[in-house]
Amino acid sequence: MEHLEMVSEVKHQRIKANGIWIHVAEKGTGPLVLLLHGFPELWYAWRHQINYLAQHGYHAVAPDLRGYGDSDSPIDPTSYTCHHLVGDLIALLDHFGEQQAFVVGSDWGSNIGWHLSLFRPDRVKGFVALGVPYHPRSPTSKPVETIRNFFGDQSHVCQFQEPGRAERAFARYDYLTVMKKFILMTCTDFLASPPGMELIDFLSTPSVVPSWITEEELTFFADKFQESGFTGPLNYYRAMDLNWELLAPWQGSKITVPTKFIAGNKDMCFDFETAGTKAFVESGTFKSLVPNLEVVIIDGHHFIHQEKAQEISEEILSFIRKFPPNASI
């Protein structure tokens, strides 16, 4: 029951930010650390880090990103661009009266953190990205087309494009099963199903829950998604090509914010031929785009902040402790 007691100490509020209501969970006092979850997660994905950072003198704030949990969920996919998402975060920083924050992101949260660092480096003291590196924008190809060329129509990104399709497929399962299929997945390739099969049908449901998470914790996620649905989260994918159009002014831009990138060696696409994360990191391209970068590879899968919670918490703390209090970059 330890995690339930820990969660009961977390403070919750809904904040009017950037025109919508955003739910945040927070704990601790000190420098602000903003924790950005991925798909399909919630603030609760950071339950271990919230507690750890609060114990070590930081103000940990984990929002339900727009479309998720107890935050507002606009219906239109065009309300989920990187500009909307970064705008939400700037509004949260302003609400807390903080000029700068440390930012930690996983999966889509990493993507949003990269764009926050790109658009507003003045507001980010340091950034920790889990799993998803900063990829250069192609000057010629939209991302969905690029992914289709690489991985075919059966990739998750392609399957998630059509409004309602993935929602209908997910609805064939109870919410707990959907959570297990995603959060517990051990897929090391790009996420794609065989031809003619929906991704959710292809993903296996582990018969045994691994030691790093409990059935009760998975049920917390499931119950929230049962309330809020999956359309908001899926809209992030449906805005990917629009993001590409909107990011044209930043073509060729570098990320100047001090950054630590952490990936699991069994994450999706980590070892994928020439296009995987490992090859990208080792090629030197990543470092050329993010000059102030350190890279850490640890043993683990995609949801590494939950799977290897203590190790990730320590990696975050060791990074943010390098910055003197109240020092601006």
Q: What share of the chain is helix, strand, coil (3-state, %, to 5)?
A: 45, 15, 40
Residue of 59, 68, 237, 305 marked active site: 237
Active site residue 237: yes
Find the farthest-apart pair of alpha carbons in the chain and give their distance in angstroms, rounded: 55
Q: Parallel, antiparallel, or unpaired: how do β-strands 101-106 and 124-130 relate?
A: parallel
User: Of all helices (H) and strands (E), which one includes residue 59?
Assistant: strand 59-63
Contact 284, 319 (CB under 8 A): no
Residue of 70, 88, 107, 267 marked active site: 107
Round to whole Å and give the CA distance between 323 and 325: 6
Round to whole Å and give the CA distance between 36 and 56: 19
Active site residue 52: no
User: Of all helices (H) and strands (E), which one includes residue 244?
Assistant: helix 240-246
Contact 143, 240 (CB under 8 A): yes
| Residues assigned a catalytic role | 107, 237, 302
